[in-house]
Structure 1
Amino acid sequence: MSTLFVADIHLCAQEPAITAGFLHFLRTRARAAQALYILGDLFEVWIGDDDPNPLHHEIAVALRALGQRGIPCYFIHGNRDFLLGQRYASACGMTLLPAQQVMQLDGLRVVILHGDTLCTDDSDYQRFRRRVHQRWLQRLFLSQPLRLRLRIADRMRANSLHANSGKTADIMDVNAQAVMTVLAHTGATVMIHGHTHRPAIHELPGERRRAVLGAWHLQGSAIEVTAKGVTLHEFPFGG
């Protein structure tokens, strides 16, 4: 049996091909797995569990169906959907995990995370992340009317796109020392993350590996862990 990891699906109503591809993945590849881990940015934006967006219900039904087949689903928040709460997780039948989780899989000690905390060279983003993860600010935002929350989220998205357009690719990638620090602190030999949209498996000093998930822009991306090792898969939405 295998354990599957995905991230950066970025589901939204404006991208029906991505939605169809992810639903197909849940009905096919995911059903052959022992467990599914979603490492953040399942949705392009999340303004609260009370958002009646039909897409949210459609995805919840599909994830719950996976759980009903005996395949548990776990979720780590990303930078797009860090407000996803227990109400929606329960509707999906998935378990919320902390920002960083260590596990034993097929003889490997693995640490999983979204990946944005590793991008320490992007100081502007790290300051922004610390600000929006303040619980009082999150509670204040979630107390606002849905329409206002959506306007705020749209403005923040536009500001983010503008800010990122002036940054180099290296600044927005992970910091090598941050990666090695997490591996050292956790004792893991394998790290799996998303966020950077740079799918690859990197060999690191000390016989360690960093496996990076791709974004679901034009195709699907998943990392599979089995007794044979760690494998990166990229596949068409219908395959």
Structure 2
Amino acid sequence: MATLFIADLHLCPEEPAITAGFLHFLAGPAREADALYILGDLFEAWIGDDEPVPLHRDIAQAIRAVVDHGVPCYFIHGNRDFLLGKRFARESGMQLLPESQVLNLYGRRVLIMHGDTLCTDDAGYQAFRAKVHQPWLQRLFLALPLWVRKRIATRMRAGSKAANSTKTQAIMDVNQPAVEAAMTQHGVQWLIHGHTHRPAVHELVVNGDAARRVVLGAWHHEGSMVKVSPDGVELIHFPF
């Protein structure tokens, strides 16, 4: 009896080892879970559900197999795949969640999110995020021809890479007051998120009580998951 959380796989055709590792995970540990939550950046990039990428179909079918096995799968958008939509959700069987969600797991109230909204010291990114999350702009982008979207996405990724190269690690990490504010707002003592690629279990105090912030690792060279069970909360790394 356990619920599993993963994030930041950044799947793309250029990284077949990560894809193979994820497919192995879906065929094994994921099928033994009570539920699977994917907390964003499942894909390196997403410019629309209509993009004809074989990898996307393969992943949708593999997740659907887990759902058909009886394990519900949930998805929170990341900063790389925030345009993943209802069509892919239907194909994969995943249920789309809002950017933050509180779960009641084995007697614990747990707040889950991708984590980028906690990085409030990165003012440039937060301004960009606010812009691209406007529904009208997303509708306009998705209405463009696929080749135009690809060109825009390529330019945006290059710009993001250049901008991040000049930022300190501290700026791109979460802001502690933002963490405490989010946990206070939702009345939780547990927070699970990804985004920063800094796997760890942080101890903190929220409203005078002991609390934990658990950060998922990115799937660069090994898998990373959080396992929540009646016995505890574990951050686990495993080979592909």
How high is the TM-score relative to the length of structure 1?
A: 0.98
Q: CA deviation at 1:90?
A: 0.7
Deviation sequence 1:151-205 (CA, Å, 0-9, x none): 1111111100100000000000000000000110101110000000000011111
Q: Which of the numbers 218, 221, 226 marks the counterpart of 1:218? A: 221
Partner amino acid for 1:185?
Q
Aligned to 1:138: 138
Which secondary structure does the structure 1 equivalent of 2:109 belong to?
strand
| 3-state secondary structure, aligned to 1:102 | strand
| Residue number in structure 1 paired with 2:177 | 177
Letter in 2 for 1:60: A
Instruction: Give the partner amino acid of 1:97.
Output: L
Counterpart of 1:83, as a letter, is L
- AA aligned to 1:209 is R
In structure 1, what is the Cα distance between the partners aligned to 2:147 and 2:222? Answer: 32
Correspondence for 2:116 = 116
Counterpart of 1:103 in structure 2 is 103
Name the residue aligned to 1:126.
126
Tell me how large the CA RMSD over aligned residues is.
0.5
Structure 2 partner of 1:160: 160
Q: Structure 2 counterpart of 1:9, which letter? A: L
Q: 2: CA distance between counterparts of 1:112 and 1:132?
A: 22
Residues 1:194 and 2:197 are matched in the alignment:
no
Partners of 2:120 and 2:87 in 1: CA distance: 31
- The alignment status of 1:7 with 2:10, answered yes or no, reads no
Tell me how far apart the structure 1 counterparts of residues 42 and 151 of structure 2 sit (CA, whole Å). 20
1:208 equivalent in structure 2: 211
- Please list every run of 5 or more consecutive structure 1 residues that lacks an aligned counterpart in the other structure: none
Large movers: runs of 4+ above 4 Å:
none
Distance 2:217 2:153 in 1: 24
Cα shift at 1:234? 0.5
Q: Which residue of 1 aligns with 2:149?
A: 149
2:230 alignment partner, one of 199, 207, 227: 227
SS for the counterpart of 2:127 is helix
The CA distance in 2 between the partners of 1:158 and 1:151, in whole Å, is 11
Q: How many residues align?
A: 237
Taking the aligned partners of 1:93 and 1:25, their CA distance within structure 2 comes to: 17
Q: CA deviation at 1:212?
A: 0.2
Q: Give how far 1:103 is off.
A: 1.0
TM-score relative to the length of structure 2: 0.98
Q: Percent identity?
A: 65
Aligned counterpart, 1:88 = 88
Could you say what secondary structure the match of 1:207 adopts? strand
Q: For structure 2, which runs of at least 5 residues remain unmatched after alignment?
A: none
Residue 16 of structure 2 is matched in structure 1 by 16
Displacement of 1:229: 1.1
Matched, 1:43 2:43: yes
